[in-house]
Amino acid sequence: MTPQRSTANATTAARRPARVAFVGAGPGDASLMTVASVELLARADAVITDQLTNEEIVASMTGEDVEIVDASHGEHGQQLTHASRAKLVVKTAKAHKGGLVVRLMDGDPATFNGLAEEAAALAKADIDFDVVPGVSAVSAVPSYAGVPLTNRSTGALHVVSVSGSKRPDLSASVRDDVTLVLLGLPEHLVPAFADLLANGRDGDTPVALTQGGTTTSQVTHGTTLAEAADAVVGLEVPTLAIVGPTVAMRSTLSWFETKPLYGWNVLIPRTKDQAGPMTKQLLGHGATSEVVPTISVEPPRTPQAVERAVRGLVTGRYQWIGFTSVNAVKAIREKFEEFGLDARAFSGLKIAAVGGVTADALREWGIEPDLVPTGEMSARGLLEEWPPYDEVLDPIDRVFLPRADIATDTLVAGLQEMGWQVDDVTAYRTVRATPPPAPTRDAIKQGAFDAVVFTSSSTVRNLVGIAGKPHPSTVIACIGPATVKTAEEAGLRVDVMAPEATGASLVEALAEHGRKLVTAAIEAGEEPQRPSARRKKAATRRTKAKG
């Protein structure tokens, strides 16, 4: 009887409308999304988005077959009412019987969102739902603006939405010890400021106006209540206003908009797989980044040599195998899978990796390298720590180096001098990638990027070849002396060189350069600006002078 009952229950569940999960998307910064929200998005059959939903975030966190339903506007572009959204949620749940629908809401579902109306509509339709709280803009945006909502002198915190049809009563928010957070469109904030002044709030009360909160486009304007109506003109949504004495602490506590690369747009000439760690590191310093692949990795034209070498690994031909790039690890791993081999074939071999990133790629394969340079992570650094061949201790004198077709001979020559026999085998080819789209090429040549980070000489040559030279105003950062030399030969002015030959060191060096630019601007009595903004300002001055 039990199996029949289970089958009946499963059939009933499949006939019921989808379960709906109300999920808070947070205020804009994707890293503020909760673990639960990310897990639900990954399992969703449909996602119903809000007005400010980041489409790229949704695309990266959902499956390929997910249905995306826009709940911000109707078919004719009109903004949907709460009632219309509620009907849309019910309709979507019924269309995905037995599945999961994620209703993704800006900020926190229960804070100035349509949770009450939409959840009530689901309850009325007998549709199951869950609620996953999110980080609210009410608290997150002030924190990212460097404004604590309370301190020891704060008597109350008031949060008021001014975007509704009914004008709110702000008479209870005029005491000096009250912090007031106003949510709404810029045009709705103006009468709210007037009401506060009319009800007796001091015109000298500090006010912070923040747009684009928690994203790298965030901008905070400091003003006073008496001047706030003028300051809000020209601001775009979303805008949040903080009124109260704690706003004055922003000059000391601002931490987000003062990051060394805040607002910078950095070009990374690498593949997306390789650029991931640098992208995250740049974001931590306040910068956005755009990846432009400069090379394409392809199999060797004649695979027989690498296939013989892989067979040699199994038969005991080699004492060492040296990996000089992540691409080399990937190429050998793919060849192993083709032959039905796994990491056990490395048993008895000594394994070298040129640097930390390559070592991590080996560890992902379940292989712990025996040798990783502790100093310079390059062929030269690898040679400095590679042991010479010893006729007594080393039973085999041969090394397998799976490399690119354009690899230099430095490592091969150095190993041979130490007594090793080297099989230098082309495991993959690197060819120049196709040029990026025209807007990207124009942005590179016209100075829209604040910096370019070059991680090898080939990235310099290939970027210049497929997209042209970066504008002279663009900060050029290179990973080491060889890359610097190539960049200078290409006519570029190099501003930054990493002290260590790693992507992490390169980003940190760029961040330090950003700090120095900010310090220099402040000492000169100027407002710090990112390189692309300075270029635009200089171009405007030249245009006015000609006029």
pLDDT tens track for 47-88? 999 887 778 788 889 998 999 999 887 776 678 888 999 999
**Residue type present at position 238:** P
DSSP state of 256: S
**How far does the chain reach from its first CA to its final CA, in angstroms?**
90
* 1-50 pLDDT per residue, tens: 444 545 545 555 567 899 999 999 999 898 899 999 999 999 999 999 98
Lowest mean pLDDT among 476-485, 501-510, 517-526, 534-543: 534-543
**Residue type present at position 369:** P
* 249-304 pLDDT per residue, tens: 999 999 999 999 999 999 999 876 677 889 999 999 999 999 999 888 888 888 99
List, in sequence order, every residue forming a beta bridge with 209; answer none if it has no partner. 221, 241
Residue 223: the pLDDT is 97
Mean predicted confidence (pLDDT) in 417-437? 91
* Strand order across the beta sheet in which 398-404 lies: 295-298, 421-432, 398-404, 320-323, 350-353
Q: How far apart are CA 274 and CA 357, in angstroms?
A: 9
Residue 55: the pLDDT is 81
Place of tokens 């004649």: 302
Q: How far apart are CA 232 and CA 84, in angstroms?
A: 31
Strand runs labelled E in 411-523: 421-432, 451-454, 475-478, 496-497
Residue 9: the pLDDT is 53
pTM of structure: 0.78
Residue 210: the pLDDT is 96
Q: Which residue has the higher pLDDT, 405 or 21?
A: 21
Closest listed residue to residue 151, CA positions, set 219, 226, 253 = 253
Cβ-count burial 370-392 (b if 16+ within 10 Å, e if not)? ebbbeebbbbbbbbeebeebeee
* 176-206 pLDDT per residue, tens: 999 999 998 889 999 999 999 999 999 999 9
Percent over 90 (pLDDT), the chain: 69
Find the helix packing angle between 115-124 and 82-95, rounded to 10°: 50
> What is the SS3 assignment for 196?
helix
Residue 53: the pLDDT is 79
How many residues are there in the chain?
547
